[in-house]
Amino acid sequence: MMNKTHIRRLSLAALTAATLAIAGCATPFKADVARFQTQLPAPQGQSFTVEAADPRLAGGIEFGQYAGLVAGELTRFGYRPAAPGERADMVVRFAYDVDKGRERVRSTGFGDPWYGGYYGRGFYGPPVIVAGRGGRRYVYGWRDPFLWGGGFGGYNDVESFTVYTSGLDLQISRASDGYRLFEGRAEAQSRDNNLQTIVPNLVEAMFTGFPGNSGEKVRITVAPPEKG
């Protein structure tokens, strides 16, 4: 027959395993993409150059890495990077950003692991309620059956976290006269503000179903990378 110590160890092991399983599940990246076009030519090997729409990004190594992703996507669709010294047919400009984040609070949906179910029918009762001043009563938490001597323990079912909003703007213009052929914006919210992860996902979202229907806003889901 298991005693209280054994039961608690098993419960902690199960809780740890569940937490690791949740942490190990990669979340798909979701972005809202709006695209507009006028006379974007059908890809027939037209040449292009990629430039920074934001002067602060121009010449940066990090920007160059993301510019390579944009160039790779356009090449995949049938356009080609302009050769050195060649006058390009199109100029592609893009910029990206992520804000400082906003705090949000939500219910986790998880109650006290020591209360309810099998253990709720066992050796302890309802939430601990302590009388306060003026006759008011305050809930301090759930009673942990394994903390003898009247201690209080448990888990809060409300969490606070930061949500970051990121965006990528892309414009394609005719090089000869600057006429705008295409423009689009991909925007996403995430718990992470790491541009090295966010920008490649935004680029992939922008070019999913490219060039899309003019004036249409769609939700694009980018699958997480496969492990191994």
pLDDT bracket for residue 157 (50, 70, 90): low
> Is 10 within a domain?
no
> Is 9 within a domain?
no
* Residues 41 and 149 both lie in one domain: no
> Is 19 within a domain?
no
Neighbours of 51 (CB within 10 A): 16
Looking at residues 9-22, what average pLDDT do you find?
44
> Is 18 within a domain?
no
Could you list the residue range(s) of the whole structural domain that residue 145 is in? Answer: 111-156
* Residues 81 and 190 both lie in one domain: yes
pLDDT of residue 105: 77
- Is 60 exceeded by the pLDDT of residue 134? no
Angle between helices 61-76 and 195-206 (to 10 degrees): 20
* Residues 171 and 95 both lie in one domain: yes
Query: Both tokens of residue 188?
Result: 């996403």
* Residues 182 and 94 both lie in one domain: yes
> Is 115 within a domain?
yes
* Residues 93 and 199 both lie in one domain: yes
pLDDT per position as a tens digit, 176-190? 999 999 999 999 998
* Residues 97 and 167 both lie in one domain: yes
* Residues 151 and 168 both lie in one domain: no
pLDDT of residue 13: 47
* Residues 81 and 42 both lie in one domain: yes
Total of domains in the chain: 2
* Residues 56 and 88 both lie in one domain: yes
> Is 227 within a domain?
no
Q: What percent of the chain has pLDDT over 70?
A: 64
Range 189-215 burial, b when 16+ CB lie within 10 A, else e: ebeebeeeebbbbbbbbbbbebbbeee
How far, in Å, CA of 13 to CA of 10, rounded?
A: 5
Bigger pLDDT: 198 vs 135: 198
Looking at residues 32-56, what average pLDDT do you find?
93
- Is 90 exceeded by the pLDDT of residue 76? yes
* Residues 180 and 84 both lie in one domain: yes
Q: What is the CATH number of the domain that holds 45?
A: 3.30.160.670
How far, in Å, CA of 206 to CA of 73, rounded?
A: 10
pLDDT of residue 86: 94
